[in-house]
Chains A and B, each alone.
Chain A
Amino acid sequence: MNGKKTIAFLLITALVFLIICPLLSIFAEAVFQNGRFSLSSAIATITENENAKMIGSSLLLGILVVIVSSAIALPLAYIFSRTSLARYHFFDIIFMIPFMTPPYIASMGWILFMQKRGLMQQLFPDLAFISDWFFSLAGLVLVMSFHVFPFMMTMMKNAMLSVPSSLDEAGAVLGAPFRVRIRKLFMPLLTGNYAIGALLVFVKTISEYGTPSTLGRRIGFSVFTTDIHRYATVAPIEFGKSASLASVLVGICLMIWLLQNYITMRRTYSLVGGKGSAVRYRKLSRPALVAAIAFIAIVVFFSMLIPLFSVTISSLIKLRGYGMRSGNYTTANYIKVFTEDTQGINALLVSIFLAVSSATIAAMLGTIVVTISRNCGKKMKKTIEGIALLPEMLPSIVLVLGIMLFYNSIYKAIPIYGTIWIMVLSYVVLFLPYTVQYVTSSYSQISPSLVAAGRISGGSPSYVFLHITLPLISRGIMSGWMMTFIIAFRELVTPSLIAPTNTLTVSTYINRQFEQGSVGKGMAMAVICILFSTVSLLILNKAILREKR
């Protein structure tokens, strides 16, 4: 028992070093001036006119995105949980696409589509008035909502699936019409879930860097993430300001998580009991069916087809000055990515290396974290899980800023700042929660009697772990690995803050080409990136399924 405690204690120390210390260095940077504690400059930063305005617009953006993505997600959730259309499971995969497309690529697609004399105006010159409207807060809200809505849709769909049809039927039998049943029955049962979904969307929106850094910059709309990034990277560098803003952002996020916790405890109903709780699909009337299909088509069109079309076409245009015109198409951009210089191929190799190494390390570390936390006291378990899951609750730009400050300050002891290893480390920290969650859920499916049986039959603890537990949780580990691999491959925040000299990743390559090089080459790499993610997702999915059999 004592040995276990020691191991758990060592693990906590390691996690504190990896995750808590960088966070603390942010707070330290914000409140220590020349070695002396002082809140004044942090407060001055926050109340500075420009920053106060920025904080206001960040929160406004978050609220607007919650509203718009609800308007998209709630009808879809209803359609795919309670109507006859719910049978078509391939929609589940289709609605993964906007979530799998990196937000910076999607917003570049939108910019190329909407800009003055851009793709839309070349196709439909009469729609030019939409462009002015798009390059404003409205466009930003729309693009971010189209990225984040699948998240809320999935949550609400699952919540709606857990409301048994018998309740609905009881309402109908007692004479309540459809509208009343929605209002009096469905809505009260789902408000808890909706509140959680809305808060998550809010946090995701104010933590997002990709869209604000591309489309937001275009329209001069600064938010937390872009300002934190600007203060930390553009001369004159002001880490203090950057850290102060990051601290505020951390505060907001933590408050929202607490609120969410509170709601989860107070306002969720246990609807899954022992009784039959089958969901019967509603057969839609003809007009309703047409309306539902039209709605799905519109969402698919805007959230997927426009950005993907725009990115693909832009990668194939030869001379940008002539736009979409027969004879002005070429595949040369794809060839140039690999042949014009070594940057393109290097960026791909670096991204693959980072994805493989961070996924592997995170999978191992995550498995260790979960395994140890299950075998030590309750208090320690809570501490370990709390720290390990922290990176998911916080905006990645905050953690990366912390890592940057922390490893810069201990450069003499651990000289990894400015090397590729600090990126590996940062990726591992950022994506550790994926493995932790997947492995935790596969652990929870293992009956304790299996392990007990192994021990009784004479297996040593390590033998039992290797031959019983590990095979059973391997799917969880693989899923965590896969998720990390795909997300890490296209990660933007870390490399744009702490990539060493000479090192571009796929994301910074695309960004750089889009902003300072050839848009054609940038978009060619974007297409390659999307294809690579999709194909690796399919391959890994297959591999996991085969293993399961």
Chain B
Amino acid sequence: MKKTLIVLIMLLSVLSLSASDKGIVTVYMPSPAGLANKLAADFEAKTGIEVRTFQGTTGEILARLETEKANPVADVVILASWSDGLSMKNSGQLESYVPANADKMVPGWIDSDSTLFGYSASAVGVIYNTLIYPELSADWQELADSQYRNDIAIPDPELSGACKDFVAGYVNAFGWDTFEALADNGMIVPGANKAALEAVTTGEVGILIAGVDYNAYSSMADGEPLAIYYPASGTVVNPRPAMIMKTAPDMDNAKAFIDYLLSEDAQKMVTDAYLLPGRTDIEYSNRSTLAEIPQIECDWDAMMAISSDSAARINELCER
């Protein structure tokens, strides 16, 4: 009995997160988990501030914020969707702050009120299984061709922020025809980004549209039989906004964390995770550069207005 008690107490002390003297900062961030953990560990080492993270998809993070409205916990929130970030700003949830190195950022990746900081970005592309399609370069609407019937997947835009913004951007620019044709062609929605990538990796489908690129690059580096391209008519490059909550219980630490995200070390980690860096002066060679990606003209305010409904529409269209 005594032994069990000792074991219990030991377990408890492992679990009870004793806050350090420098305080804590609570950060909600989306995948990739590896990057989130590295950033947290490095920030802790540099500042002595303990980082508590909640990792989830954009949908899960938004849900969590909603449940905690009465008792706010989060200091910094990072999303994978710029339009969701804008709608948080519009509902007055965000604190304005001018971080260090703001001048070095990609133009437009910080909003006019200085509340959204696009410290990194991803783009969505067409990811295909090279064991099934040795070569592929079809444009979005060409993928609705019957030769790809029942062999196409899309990440769930209600879970994946990057996919959500792409759908909004594409629909805003070109209308619904392509997605309706793709859905008629048997397109499936296997789940969030990673689940969708898994489907194309195992060959459950041959082609994944609107798949986030950093996941694909990372799997390709592992040796999976995958390839990615950005269709000629363009895609959406999606800055991933880091934001400070107005209700942040640890405001100073939250600001320090934003400064850290734009530091050279953090930006290097961003590129190591195959994401696009938020600063223009960071070099990388492990993926397509920002300049190489054909882009759709983005009207973010118009996209924000339609993004949630469009995401729901995709799921409706693809329901069997």
Contacts and interface: CB of A to CB of B under 8 A. Distances in A.
A420 B202 contact: no
Interface stretch (A112-120, A189-197, A198-206, A437-445): A112-120
Contacts of A319: 222-225
Contact of B73 (A340, A356, A420, A501): A501
Given A118-B204, A501-B54, A517 B4 contact: no
A465 B147 CA distance: 78
Contacts of B31: 516-517
A418 B202 contact: no
Contact of B15 (A117, A237, A349, A417): A349
Nearest 4 interchain pairs by C-beta: A117-B203, A501-B54, A235-B62, A321-B225
Contacts of A357: 8
A320 B8 contact: no
A320 B201 CA distance: 6
B57 A516 contact: yes
Nearest to B66: A237
Interface stretch (B93-101, B189-197, B260-268): B189-197
A341 B37 contact: yes
B205 A116 contact: yes
A357 B320 CA distance: 45
Interface in A195-244: 217-220, 233-237
B71 A411 contact: yes
What secondary structure prevails in chain B residues at the interface with A?
mixed
Contact of A516 (B28, B158, B195): B195
A74 interface: no
A517 B203 contact: no
22 contacts: A234-B59, A234-B158, A235-B63, A319-B225, A320-B198, A342-B37, A356-B8, A356-B11, A360-B4, A408-B71, A411-B71, A418-B71, A501-B28, A501-B52, A502-B53, A515-B195, A516-B194, A516-B195, A517-B31, A517-B33, A517-B194, A519-B198
B11 A353 contact: yes
B67 interface: yes
Interface string A416-445: 011010000000000000000000000000
Contacts of A118: 202, 204
A323 interface: yes
Nearest to B150: A116
Contacts of A420: 15
Interface in A492-549: 501-502, 515-517, 519
Contacts, number: 108
Interface in B1-43: 4, 7-8, 11-12, 14-15, 17, 26, 28, 31, 33-34, 37
A350 interface: yes
B310 interface: no
Given A115-B204, A516-B195, A353 B63 contact: no
B166 to A, nearest CB: 18
A534 B230 CA distance: 49
Contacts of B272: none
A233 B4 contact: no
Contact of A515 (B62, B191, B204): B191
Nearest to A404: B67
- Interface size on A, as a range, is 35 or more
B60 A321 contact: no
B136 to A, nearest CB: 15
Nearest to A353: B11
Contact of A349 (B11, B52, B223): B11
Given A319-B223, A502-B54, A517-B33, A417 B194 contact: no
Contacts of B14: 349
A321 B33 contact: no
A176 interface: no
- Highest count of chain B CB atoms <10 Å: which of A116, A321, A360: A321
B33 A343 contact: yes
Contacts of B190: 218
Given A320-B198, A356-B4, A237 B70 contact: no
Contacts of B33: 341, 343, 517
A322 B225 contact: yes
B316 to A, nearest CB: 11
Interface string A302-340: 000000000000000001111100000000000000001
Contacts of B64: 501
A64 B226 CA distance: 41
A216 B187 CA distance: 18
Nearest to A349: B14
B111 interface: no
Given A235-B66, A356-B4, A408-B70, 19 more contacts: A117-B204, A220-B319, A233-B60, A234-B158, A236-B66, A237-B67, A321-B129, A321-B224, A341-B34, A341-B37, A343-B33, A352-B11, A353-B8, A408-B67, A417-B71, A501-B26, A515-B192, A516-B191, A516-B192
Contacts of B223: 319
Interface in B230-283: none
A515 B17 CA distance: 28
Contacts of A519: 198
Interface in B154-198: 158, 190-195, 198
A281 to B, nearest CB: 44
B305 interface: no
Nearest to A131: B204
B63 A237 contact: yes
B135 interface: no
Nearest to B223: A319
Contacts of A320: 198, 201-202, 224
Contacts of A322: 131, 225
Nearest to A238: B66
Interface string A227-264: 00000011111000000000000000000000000000
A25 to B, nearest CB: 14
B207 to A, nearest CB: 13
Contacts of A117: 202-204
Contacts of B53: 501-502
A116 B190 CA distance: 12
A321 B226 contact: yes
B292 interface: no
Interface string B105-131: 000000000000000000000000101
Contacts of B191: 217, 515-516
A354 B52 CA distance: 20
Nearest to A340: B34
A115 B37 contact: no
A44 B220 CA distance: 49
B151 to A, nearest CB: 9
Nearest to A502: B52
A418 B195 contact: no
A517 B7 CA distance: 32
B74 to A, nearest CB: 8
A221 to B, nearest CB: 10
